[in-house]
Amino acid sequence: MTARREQGGGPGPHARMPAEWEPHDATWIAWPHERSDWPGKFSTIPWTYAEIVRRLSSDEYVEVLVQSPAQLGRARRVLTRSAVDLERVRFHVCPTDRSWTRDSGPSFVRTGPASSAAEAPLALVQWKFTGWAKYDNWQLDRGVPEWIARHLGLPLHKALSGSRWVVCEGGAFDVDGSGLLLATEECLLGEPQARNPGLGREALESVLREYLGVEEVIWLRRGILGDDTHGHVDDVARFVGPRAVVTVTTDDPSDLDFSALSENREVLDAYRSRGGARLDVRELPVPRPVLFGGLRLPASYANFYVANRTVLVPTFDDPRDADAIDVLRKAFPGREAVGIRARDLVWGFGTIHCLTQQQPAARRASGR
């Protein structure tokens, strides 16, 4: 099966990236293998992934990318010992550099008019992945969207600004499915990393409108300390409903993130739609700083993932874990908010949202 690669133009005038809480057919992940991402802690990581897969597979299918048939066997053994229902897990040999599927994977969009959105076929958007403008080994990861598009038999659209392929990652933005998108200036407009030198705010907003179907971009200021991605928004603020946002806050001026988080909160409070409507802004606490090897790690409850019946929340052996779970339980009534111990996982500079990519439910393509 081949992917229909579309080089020019977006997925169409009715393209819309669904919100994460809309129904899924599956969640995609890549089984962990890059030991340098978790130096000294890698042995615990497959078991954390297994718990994530166990929880997800009770809700929806989990599509697992593995490096080789040998790794497939190892992953299967870990999942079996962790009481995962393997009938709900599908393995695919697709080599990757790392396991952060949110960032290297495609963005799924629906392509039908609003009146038929629930049945609209899917298309994939492929961003130019460059290892967060930081690492050299990204070549295998860059091929993941094309592999998934080929497997699913779906059209694949390169996100272009003119003839220029736009650098971005899935964790750099969050959508509410109703026209709004969150991003940070630090990540997509900032220096010195400059993912897209010379491509300014207006041009980037045009790309986001064309390929994801958004109407407005809400630009927050900065991400949190320890974030290896230069300010991904999925560590600071996330949509939990149409025009409803949870944002990470602290009232402790001695916290090194206090200034950045306060600025972001001010932006959200000040936002008004063209009709004058405000956002529904809710607060998420911050855990105490998580340190390892002299580094402050990007521990954030905002890196949660919304599955069909569950919200998976990273936890850090912190008294505030329960408060964060309670906030997200109330934000998603009808779903079970479940803590996943992520203190070792965050040593890789990411947690649950970073490693997952949702495949929205839509009319299946022929042959799938």
What local confidence, expressed as pLDDT, does residue 368 receive? 34
CA separation for the pair 210, 167 (Å, rounded): 15
Residue 367's pLDDT band (cuts 50, 70, 90):
very low
pLDDT tens digits, one per residue of 284-323: 999 999 998 889 999 999 999 999 999 999 999 999 999 9
**Contact predicate 129/104, CB 8 Å:** yes
Least confident of 132-136, 307-311, 357-361: 132-136
Least confident of 26-30, 193-197, 265-269: 193-197
Residue 190's pLDDT band (cuts 50, 70, 90):
confident
The pTM of this model reads 0.95
What local confidence, expressed as pLDDT, does residue 363 receive? 60
Q: How many helices (H) and strands (E) does the chain have?
A: 11, 21
Answer yes or no: is pLDDT of 117 > 80: no
Residue 328's pLDDT band (cuts 50, 70, 90):
very high
Q: Which CATH number fits domain 4-360: 3.30.43.10, 3.50.50.60, 3.40.225.10, 3.75.10.10?
A: 3.75.10.10
| 3-class DSSP state of 266 | helix
More confident residue, 7 or 76: 76
Q: Name the residues annotated as catalytic.
A: 354
What local confidence, expressed as pLDDT, does residue 4 receive? 60
Answer yes or no: is pLDDT of 13 > 60: yes
**Contact predicate 208/216, CB 8 Å:** no
Name the residue ranges covered by the structural domains of the chain: 4-360
Report which of 345, 351, 346 is spatially closest to residue 44, judged by C-alpha positions: 345
Residue 365's pLDDT band (cuts 50, 70, 90):
very low
What local confidence, expressed as pLDDT, does residue 235 receive? 98
Answer yes or no: is pLDDT of 20 > 80: yes
CA separation for the pair 14, 117 (Å, rounded): 9
**Residue 200: partners with Cβ closer than 8 Å, 6 or more residues away:** 189
Answer yes or no: is pLDDT of 1 > 70: no
Which is it for the CA torsion 181, 55, 45, 314, positive or negative? positive
Answer yes or no: is pLDDT of 217 > 70: yes
Report which of 175, 98, 107 is spatially closest to residue 141, judged by C-alpha positions: 98
Residue 225's pLDDT band (cuts 50, 70, 90):
very high
Q: For 140-162, what is the mean pLDDT?
A: 97
> What is the percentage of the chain residues whose pLDDT exceeds 90?
86
Q: What is the DSSP string of 349-361?
A: T--HHHH-EEEE-
Q: For 94-98, what is the mean pLDDT?
A: 97
Secondary structure, 3-state, 224-246: CCCCCCCCCHHHCEEEEECCEEE
Average pLDDT for the chain: 93
Segments in 180-280 forming alpha helices (H): 185-188, 201-212, 258-270
Answer yes or no: is pLDDT of 364 > 50: no
Q: Which residues pair with 92 in a beta bridge?
A: 65
Q: For 168-194, what is the mean pLDDT?
A: 91
Report which of 20, 25, 169 is spatially closest to residue 98, judged by C-alpha positions: 169
**Residue 253: partners with Cβ closer than 8 Å, 6 or more residues away:** none
> What is the percentage of the chain residues whose pLDDT exceeds 70?
94
What local confidence, expressed as pLDDT, does residue 123 receive? 97
Provide the residue type at 90 as one letter.
R
Verify cis geometry, omega within 30 degrees of 0, for the bond prior to 192: yes
Residue with tokens 């600071």: 236
